[in-house]
Structure 1
Amino acid sequence: MFTSKSSVYKDGDAVIGGFFPLHTFITDSDINKPTETIYTQLKTKNYQYVLALVFAIEEINRNPYLLPNMSLGFDLYNVPYTQWMTLKSSLIWLTGLNKYVPNYTCRRQSKSVAALTGTSWATCAQIATLLGLYKFPQLTFGPFDPILSDNSQSLSLYQMAPKDTSLALGMISLILHFSWTWVGLVISDDHDGIQFLSDVTEAMERNRVCVAFLEMVPVTTVSYFTKAWSYHRQIRQSSADVVIIYGDADFLLGFTISIDQDSIIWKVWITTSQWVINTEKNNFLLDTFHGTLIFSHHHEEISGFKNFIETATPSKYPEDFYLAELWNSSFNCSISESHYETLETCPLNASLAWLPRNIMDMSMTDGSYNVYNAVYAVAQTLHEMMLQQVEMQPMWNVQGLTFAPWQLHPFLKNIQFNNPAGDQVNMDQKRKLDAEYDILNFWNFPEGLGYKVKVGHFSPYLPKDCQLSLTKDMIEWATGITQIPHSVCSESCNPGFRKSPQEGKASCCFDCTPCPENEISNDTADLDQCMKCADHQYANVERNQCLQKAVTFLGYEDPLGKSLACTALGFSVLTVLALGIFVKHRDTPIVKANNRVLSYVLLISLTFCFLCSLLFIGRPNTATCILQQTTFGMVFTVAVSTVLAKTITVVLAFKITAPGRRIRHLLVSGAPNAVIPICSLIQLTLCGIWLGTSPPFIDTDVHAEYAHIIIVCNKGSATAFYCVLGYLGSLALGSFTVAFLARNLPDTFNEAKFLTFSMVVFCSVWVTFLPVYHSTKGKVMVAVEVFSILASSAGLLGCIFAPKCYVILLRPDRNSLHGFRDKVHPGSNKPS
């Protein structure tokens, strides 16, 4: 119907050709029947391109300041789906004949100056192949395609649309705004789709958004509908509630039709302004695509365009058979038998404004806005050329214009102007700016009436935190969804947990694992690693907060410290009592026989050994830190060296009996007692070196106890500490060796055996001390050292002096010369 003419033509001094996809072929493959073309259908929404062209030309022709004394006309052609029909339209436009004779025109003088093409890359590239041979300027109104600009064969081609390099970033910003991390991708399998896939996946990886599924869909209609069920099954089965759809207008239309025919799939669809709904679908109240979010190029509203659409009628533009066809299909007009394209019985005052928005949008679409700017770009170019020719030579003659279309290129490629809406138009393809986007929300109403509502804006030129602005309260979601959809592979981990990746799955799929000891994860969800608390803090039970550690030490208030202090004082009192007993009974045989002086020295040193343990209890300070180890080392050295002196005395007393020998003289003169000052002097030297090089100091232990900072005394030089301890151990080992060798001597009151046993206890305590000391921390470490001091001191006190005090206090009969003789030689009245 209405196909007797090849084009819609309106004359002018300069004519702009327009190649618009106004008809589509409906084939059997589209409705699952035998393959052949059935009929053609007018793409109602695409007719707005024609309206935008006519509106711009009329606006320019009325403008006395732009192209004065010169009018613009147009020559409109339909661009069908097939490649051959596309070339056919362009050949007709070039030759003026329905017969295709290359390099020939029946027109006496062609007024054509430029061509507008779109919307797909394939259409533009095919027409550019032909028009490029004749250097005709070709202005495309479809989405910006980098290949069209980079192709050296498209030097005569100009793209009106801004660049879409920030489209992927805008979509991901929207996704992040709603905390969606599990998103599906349905993308056309062509070069434009592959470029978008690269951009969007890079943005997703950078922002930790995962691809739930990826479907690269063929752009050919037959291939798509043949495999549509497999693509839709993937979409239905995926747990992702958000799907990004990208492709040209034909691809997106095919996708929407196949989805509607297949089943209802409730998802949040994110797409571009190329998306259109299927106007032939059933009249669902709320369909599959209700709530779709659409990224559309931002532009100011063109004043007067809405009124122009409302007043456009077939009677106003009788040459436009496309408008007549639209009128016939929309208002059920009848056709005059005498005039095939004359409409009758149409409703009075019928207007395109009566049509639903999904059929005829009253606001200017992205493609129509590009058409509008393209017409003004041609007009501005002609205006510049006209001014230049006025300066050089008269411009008009009887033949009309004196320039050819190829002469427009030097002016057209550098033209830059502001359109009537105030938006800047830049024809330099290399300096084109990225687009800003309006975010539209598609609402579906009864009878399939669709409406797009602006709910947000995205601008790549603003600071990152301000690029996206959104009015969430205005957004309508898919049917049955009353709250913001939740599209994640795994639910966010609660505070106190961290993400643990699931093997073989995307990073957005994870398990939640409790944080390790002393690590937390706070209100920030989905952390890969928990944060370790500072040294002065510890994690609470929930592992979501670091608390301040309490300062502690082995104090007298502590039960352990109190017990050790009482034990030290108790043993100190016992030692003083033993000393008192020995002093009181100093003239008895048992005290005399055990070297009274050495016994006094040993008891006094043991008293200080018990008391020095108190230096380890209480809040450490500089003085106590220095005195702890040095006092311990010195008093124990005196005690052990005294035991060594006593042992040497016993050995000399029973091994050297010959009168007059020099060694006997040494024994009588008390020379063994010199061992004490000599050994103590060596230990004093070691302690002096220790204090002079790296003395002990106050330190804190933040790791020993979970919720406490323990104040301890750092030994400064560990080497010096172990030298002091090692020297003390050497003395103890020497004393044990000598005592062991003298254990069977007939010592008075078994002194040699008591010394041996005491050194066994002493060495056992300190040999056990080393591994236990190194396996403990904090207060326990200090307690272990205090316990070792008390245990070893108590061993000396108990093994050496307890038997003697027992004899003195409870067996006085044995503490006499007669008892001594009976003990040495039972039944004899004379000592041996």
Structure 2
Amino acid sequence: MVAKDMFRELNYYNSLAFIFAVEEINNSSELLPNITLGLHLYDSNNHPLIALRVFMNILSEMDKAIINYNCKTSGTLAAIIEVVSAEESKLISNMLRIYHYPQISYTSQNSFMSVKFPHLYLIVPSFLKIIPGIMKLLKHFNWTWIGILTPDDDNSLTFVQILKERIEQNGACIEFIEIFDQINTLTHERIAQINENNHKSSANLIIGLFNREDSRGIVLRNECQKIPHKVWIIITDLDYYVIDRVKPGYKNSTLLFSKVKKNIPSFLKFIRDVEPIMFPNEWITENWWTALCKNNCLQSIKRSCSRDRGSSYLFPCDNAHFANSYFIYNAVYALAHALRDMLFSGSGQTTGWNGDRRTLSNYLPWKFHRYVRNVHFKNVLGEDIFFDENGDLPMEYSITNLIFLPNGTIQHEIVGSYKPYAPPGEDFTINENIIVWDAAFTQTPPKSRCSQSCAPGYRKLTKEGKPVCCYDCIPCPSGEISNETDMNNCMKCPEDQWPNEKRDVCVPKLINFLSNEEPLGIILTLISIFFFVITAVILGIFIKYQDTPIVRSNNRNLSYILLVSLMLCFLCSLIFIGHPDEVTCVFRQTVFGITFSISLSSVLAKTITVVMAFQATKPGSKLRKWMGSRVSYSIVFSCSLLQVLICLVWLGIATPFSHQNIQSEIGTILIECNEGSAIAFYCVLGYLGFLAGISFFVAFLARNLPGSFNEAKHITFSMLMFCSVWISFIPTYLSTRGKYMVAVEIFAIMASSSGILGCIFIPKCYIILLRPDRNNRKYIKVKATHENIHITLH
């Protein structure tokens, strides 16, 4: 069954392809030897009721339908091949449910019914199978803001609904869906309204589904392609002319997504050489054959005509392909191969003699389905022809760029393809370099987006009440990046990395610790060494002048211990400088705590010694028996031992360790020592504060004791400085991070140590070196006589 309408110059090719294929099979002795195929051609005139009547005539095999009767005595109906509208095809499929005849369709819209009707076979690609190819095309060009133009028939609306779901699943959006009548007449006003809506839309890409074969449908399609600044993806079964005789102002940027159509070379020769007398003698067919004599026809199909032939208003040579001739040719051969497989298999008692003519007897159509479904052969072009599990013939789609040239010709440039049955990665190809875009586009390939792309370093924030494709771009939050365009969410960097300035890549975080190679570390190191040297010099002075009264009067052994402990205090600050590791983290606070406890214990012992010395001079004082070096040593040893025990408990319970702090500072890894136990650390500091407080209290009480060598005032000032430093240290220490926290502690150590050194020993060094006249017994006696106090030298 072949449907024909007003565009007969195209559909007539379908009829000829049907006849050509049957003739070629009958003339071959290989495919169906001794079997002759017959055919009937019917015209449904695009009317469902006529199509139904034609179908009943086919079953009765006569011009007047008699239901359930076959009135012809020769020939057997094997199958029906049709190219009609989806509505007509559905009517035929419903009837074939009863009679079980194979129905071969080359109308791609029938793909929606291939599962519902098991006797339906599709010889052309399914519209449904084109959707993944469209999605790949949209993704390739990053088109996310789309309009759709479609007819209102059920199949087209179902196709659009599935397409819409796929588009939205892939993150793109539909701006509008414009629906036009499939059957009713399209008025000029309606076409103008559709064009105006398309023109006003902000989407630069419109997908158009065109299946109307009347002149208004073609006008609508052509008018749409005149709109500037629009890219059209057109899905249609209709052929485009290669010559447009009206020469309207078409715009380029049209991509035609259609099934691959091929020309059979022997078919062209058949058309050129066959005698038209073999075909129905109608005035329109005569016009069609006359039109093949025009100069625009290819030499392979152009016929030689006498000059007295009149001109024709048909243009059968103005198309890129010869309608659906390639698919009809394959359909006829698929049935012939299925018949051959059935005959040669010996099933169904198929062959028998009837006089001198061999015919198919007792033909059971439902048995034929197995052979049709399993048919597999190579056509004249060497391509594999077979039906898949859904009854579809696997074929390819071509993506064609329609280039409208100034001379009125339309160039069909194939720029890509989609092969639904190919392996992933090989199923879609596109060559955008050869696509001709409309000159009105300022950017090629053109963009179709609701919002501009969000650059790396930004993420999309959907506008309230708008589709997901309409969004604002906001920077990634701290600690996160986006390394691609149009990311919905930013990605967090690994813990050891941080975003760069543009926030499009994670870079390693800066490693931060108090290094001995940076200026701050170098300065603190030099200061520590400087005070160490000063303390060592003072110790040398005291040793050189150890027999002088001023050295002896202030308990020189305790002075030695104090100076050595101060030297260690200055040196212990060097442990805080450099890359913290397990060893330095264990020793730096404990060494600091122990050495400082020795220093403060020595200061406390000196203070108590001063007080006891003056109290022992009083008549009847019982402190005389306590005077001696053992008391001082006992104080130093016992007070220091308690600090050692605290440190040992600290190390035993919560040993300090090296720690990478990635939270305190943005973009920085702080390499620091975790003290293990904050309580233990503050116990060490608290104990030092306790010793300093006792020393300050005792020294403060003894500040007014007479004597030239009374140290109580100096110790008072040193402890006052010590306490001031460490009281201010605690809030400063807690408010700083990283290397500056370490620097604060080093400063506190050196400031408190230098305070003790300066307040206690600098005055003595001043007398020893610059005022030696005061460093003798005579001066001491004069001073003692003046103050009426006797000082016993030890």
TM-score range, shorter chain: 0.7 to 0.9
* Structure-2 residue corresponding to 1:475: 435
How far apart, CA to CA, are the structure 1 residues paired with 2:24 and 2:138?
41
| Local SS of the residue matching 1:679 | helix
1:65 pairs with one of 30, 39, 48? 30
Q: Is 1:743 paired with 2:700?
A: yes
Which residue in the other structure is 2:333 paired with?
A: 376
2:95 is equivalent to residue 126 of structure 1:
no
Take 1:368 and 1:393, find their aligned partners in 2: how far apart are those partners? 31
In the alignment, which of 684, 689, 706 is matched to residue 732 of structure 1?
A: 689
TM-fit CA distance, 1:140 = 1.6
8 Å CA contact 1:53–1:375 kept in 2: the answer is yes
Counterpart check, 1:396 vs 2:354 = yes
Structure 1 counterpart of 2:302: none
Task: Find 1:239's aligned residue among 178, 199, 202.
Answer: 202
Is 2:448 aligned against 1:487? yes
- CA shift in 2, pair 1:475/1:729, >3 Å: same
What do the CA deviations read for 1:13-49 (whole angstroms, capped 9, x no partner)?
Answer: xxxxx141x22xxxxxxxxxxxxxxxxx335333322
Tell me, yes or no, if the aligned pair for 1:626 and 1:697 is still in contact at 8 Å.
yes
Are the aligned partners of 2:330 and 2:385 in contact in 1 as well (CA < 8 Å)?
Answer: yes
Residue 571, structure 1, aligned to residue 531, structure 2: yes
Q: CA deviation at 1:124?
A: 0.6
1:182-215 alpha-carbon deviations (Å, 9 max, x no partner)? 433334555544554465456545655x124241
The structural deviation recorded for 1:824 is 9.9
Instruction: Provide the secondary structure at the position in 1 that maps to 2:700.
Output: coil
- 1:621·1:698 contact (CA, 8 Å) conserved in 2? yes
Between stretches 274-283 and 415-424, larger displacement belongs to 274-283
Deviates more, 1:761-770 or 1:650-659: 650-659
Which digits, 9 at most, give the CA deviation of each residue in 1:430-475, with x for residues without a partner? Answer: 3646532222222334575444333322224444333223344443
Change in Cα spacing, 1:165 to 1:471, as seen in structure 2 (3 Å) is: same
Alignment match, 1:599: 559
Q: Secondary structure at the match of 1:563?
A: helix
SS at match of 1:75: coil
Unpaired runs of at least 5, structure 2: 295-304
* Alignment pair present for 1:718 and 2:681: no
Aligned AA (2:30): Y
Q: Does the CA-based 8 Å contact 2:290-2:309 persist in structure 1? A: no
Supply the distance in 2 between the matched residues of 1:428 and 1:466 (Cα, whole angstroms).
20
Question: What SS class does the counterpart of residue 641 from structure 1 fall into?
Answer: helix
Q: SS where residue 354 of structure 2 aligns?
A: coil
Q: Specify the SS of the correspondent of 1:357.
A: coil
Residue from 217, 231, 237 that aligns with 2:179? 217
Residue identity opposite 1:718 in structure 2: G
Cα 1:649–1:732, aligned 2, differ >3 Å: closer, same or farther? Answer: farther
Identical counterparts, % of pairs:
34
Instruction: Say which SS state the counterpart of residue 287 (structure 1) adopts.
Output: coil
Query: Does 2:573 align with 1:616?
Result: no
User: Match for residue 160 of structure 1?
Assistant: 123
Taking structure 1 as reference, are residues 147 and 515 closer, same or farther at Cα in structure 2, changes over 3 Å only?
closer
* Deviation of 1:357 (Å): 2.9
Q: TM-score, normalised by structure 1?
A: 0.77
In structure 2, distance between residues paired with 1:346 and 1:261:
40
Seen in structure 2, the aligned counterparts of structure 1 residues 378 and 188 have a Cα distance that, compared at 3 Å, is same
Paired with 2:768 and 2:347, the residues of 1 have a C-alpha distance of: 140
Classify 1:132/1:776 alpha carbon distance in 2 versus 1 (closer, same or farther; 3 Å): same
1:336-355 to 2 correspondence within 5 Å?
Answer: 355=316
The residue type equivalent to 2:326 in the other structure is Y
- The CA deviation at 1:263 is 5.9
Residues 278-317 of structure 1: pairs in structure 2 closer than 5 A: 283-284=246-247, 286-288=249-251, 290-298=252-260, 301-311=263-273, 314-317=276-279
Residues 294-341 of structure 1: CA deviation (Å, up to 9, x unaligned): 233346643412223444664452446652354578989xxxxxxxxx
Residue 36 of structure 1 corresponds to none
CA 684–320 in structure 1, closer or farther in 2 if over 3 Å, else same: farther
Cα distance between partner residues in 2 of 1:769 and 1:254:
88
Other-structure match for 1:755: 715
**Number of matched pairs:** 772
Separation in 2 of the partners of 1:280 and 1:126? 37
Q: Given the alignment of the two structures, is residue 140 of structure 1 paired with residue 105 of structure 2, yes or no?
A: yes
Alpha-carbon spacing, 1:313–1:559, altered in 2? closer, same or farther (3 Å): same
Distance 1:573 1:393 in 2: 122
The DSSP-based 3-state class of the residue aligned with 2:32 is coil
State the distance in 1 between where 2:598 and 2:277 align: 127
Deviation at 1:348, TM superposition (A): 5.0
Q: Structure 1 residues 494 and 536 mapped into 2: Cα distance closer, same or farther (>3 Å)?
A: same
Q: Does 1:438 align with 2:398?
A: yes
Name whichever of 596-605 and 421-430 sits farther off: 421-430
CA distance in 2, matches of 1:328, 1:180: 46
SS at match of 2:459: strand
Structure 1 residue corresponding to 2:40, chosen from 46, 60, 75? 75
Matching residue's letter, 1:304: S
TM-score relative to the length of structure 2: 0.80
Determine the structure 2 residue equivalent to 1:6: none
Deviation at 1:275, TM superposition (A): 4.5
Q: Residue 613 of structure 1 contacts residue 789 of structure 1 at CA under 8 Å; is this kept in 2?
A: yes
Equivalents in 1 of 2:735, 2:222: separation in Å?
70
Comparing 233-242 and 633-642, the one that deviates more: 233-242
Could you tell me which amino acid in structure 2 is paired with residue 56 of structure 1?
A
- Deviation of 1:831 after TM superposition, in Å, equals 7.6
- Residue 156 of structure 1: how far off its partner (Å): 4.0
The Cα shift of 1:793 comes to 1.0
| 93-102 vs 182-191, which moves further | 93-102
User: For residues 518 and 52 of structure 1, do their structure 2 counterparts lie closer, same or farther at Cα, with a shift above 3 Å needed?
Assistant: same
Q: How far apart, in 1, do the equivalents of 2:512 and 2:227 lie? A: 67
Mapped contact 1:690–1:717 kept (Cα < 8 A): no
Matched residue SS, 2:108? coil
Aligned to 2:754: 794
What is the deviation of 1:125?
Answer: 0.7
Secondary structure (helix, strand or coil) at the match of 1:74 reads coil
Report the equivalent of 1:671: 631
Structure-2 residue corresponding to 1:9? none
SS in structure 2 of the partner of residue 51 of structure 1? helix
Task: Give yes or no for the alignment of 1:416 onto 2:378.
Answer: no
Task: Write the letter of the residue equivalent to 2:524.
Answer: L
Task: Tell me: CA distance 1:790–1:150, structure 2 relative to 1, closer, same or farther (3 Å).
Answer: same
Letter in 2 for 1:558: E
SS in 2 for 1:747: coil
Name the structure 2 match of 1:28. Answer: none
| Alpha-carbon distance, 1:57 to partner | 1.6
What letter matches 1:769 in structure 2?
Answer: F
2:604 partner letter: L
Deviates more, 1:176-185 or 1:583-592: 583-592
Q: Which runs of 5+ in 1 are unaligned?
A: 1-17, 24-40, 333-343
TM superposition shift of 1:114: 2.9
Bigger mean CA deviation after superposition, 812-821 or 779-788: 812-821
- CA contact 1:160–1:374 (8 Å) conserved in 2: yes
